[in-house]
């Protein structure tokens, strides 16, 4: 049976039905998945009983990487978790602002995926925002103002708001990079609105006041409800997304709340993932140490 790909009403996100993890994807189904991934940014698969190796393989296939190339075979995939139950897992509690992982890097990660291992109810969703559709939605005046400007993105969390439930990531060796606000996607060549509320520190060559005003205006387009897709987690959900074309966030997670253990895959092929391991992103309470 051919795969069914059902797009959401939002400009991003699609649910894929009929994928059998025990059967090798044929060329036509893989082509359709890659096309949907590039067009919609987020793919959701429900009720999949899969291991870390399958999660890694499918994630990399969607960005055009042959399985196992570059040391990402099943035996070498690093186990990583987002969990309020599993010892040593990342982000065990708190709220996460919108961001793309390793946005501070010169070559940020291209693909991320999470798999629901132990999900209680009600559990905090993951919310996604499209950087591509946000750029297209900009008013002509705002696009003209920022089209030649650049922004600085820093590791950790650049707080835009003072929230008690906000995670404060603490990198041991903070890094940063500077990119155009209108950044070209390396695979699709689409223009992305490349700023985020968690990591974007400032816009260059304008006053601090104008930088803040411009960021607030751009965030209004990025995080407009019409540009958001919410995923409500269940056990055995697999969600794979384009880490450049899509930003992600979550509301507050209570450490003693319903179980929320998600297995994460980060492809090491871009090289930055290995470097990321040297950073300590253990969350602490906002304002804490």
Residue ranges and CATH numbers for the domains of the chain are 4-276 (3.60.130.10)
**Residue tagged 């870390």 (tokens):** 52
Terminal alpha carbon distance of the chain: 54
Task: State the pLDDT at residue 266.
Answer: 81
Task: State the pLDDT at residue 252.
Answer: 93
- Edge to edge, the sheet with strand 126-130 lists 94-99, 246-253, 126-130, 228-231
Task: State the pLDDT at residue 281.
Answer: 34
Task: State the pLDDT at residue 67.
Answer: 54
User: Residues with Cβ < 8 Å from 44, sequence gap 6 or more?
Assistant: 13, 14, 15, 16, 231, 237, 238, 239
pLDDT tens across 137-159, in order?
Answer: 999 999 999 999 999 998 876 65
Mean pLDDT score across all residues of the chain: 87
* Rounded CA Rg of the chain: 18
Task: State the pLDDT at residue 65.
Answer: 79
Task: State the pLDDT at residue 156.
Answer: 74
| Regions in the chain scoring below 50 on pLDDT | 69-75, 269-289
Q: Which residues of 242-255 are buried (b: 16+ CB within 10 A; e: fewer)?
A: bbbbbbbbbeebee
């Amino acid at each position: 049976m051919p795969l069914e790909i059902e797009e959401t009403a939002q400009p991003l996100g699609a649910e894929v039905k009929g994928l059998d993890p025990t059967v090798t994807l044929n060329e036509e189904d893989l082509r359709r998945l890659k096309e949907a991934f590039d067009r919609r940014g987020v793919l959701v698969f429900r009720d999949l009983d899969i291991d870390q190796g399958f999660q890694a393989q499918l994630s990399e296939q969607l960005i055009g990487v042959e399985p196992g190339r570059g040391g990402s075979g099943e035996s070498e995939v690093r186990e990583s978790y987002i969990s309020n139950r599993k010892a040593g897992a990342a982000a065990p509690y708190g709220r996460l602002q919108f961001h793309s992982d390793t946005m501070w890097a010169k070559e940020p990660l291209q693909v991320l995926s999470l798999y629901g291992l132990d999900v209680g109810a009600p559990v905090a969703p993951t919310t996604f925002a499209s950087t591509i559709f946000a750029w297209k939605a900009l008013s002509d005046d705002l696009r003209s103002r920022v089209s030649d400007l650049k922004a600085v993105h820093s590791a950790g969390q650049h707080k835009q708001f003072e929230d008690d439930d906000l995670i404060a990531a603490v990198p041991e060796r903070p890094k940063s990079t500077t990119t155009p606000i209108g950044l070209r996607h390396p695979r699709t060549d689409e223009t992305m609105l490349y700023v985020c509320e968690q990591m974007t520190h400032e816009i260059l060559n304008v006053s601090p006041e104008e930088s803040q005003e411009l960021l607030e205006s751009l965030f209004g387009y990025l995080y407009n409800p019409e540009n958001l897709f919410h995923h409500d987690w269940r056990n055995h959900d697999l969600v794979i997304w384009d880490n450049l074309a899509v930003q992600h966030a979550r509301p507050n997670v209570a450490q003693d709340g319903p179980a929320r253990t998600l297995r994460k895959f980060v492809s090491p092929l871009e090289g930055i993932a290995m470097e990321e391991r040297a950073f300590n992103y253990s969350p602490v309470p906002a304002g804490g140490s």
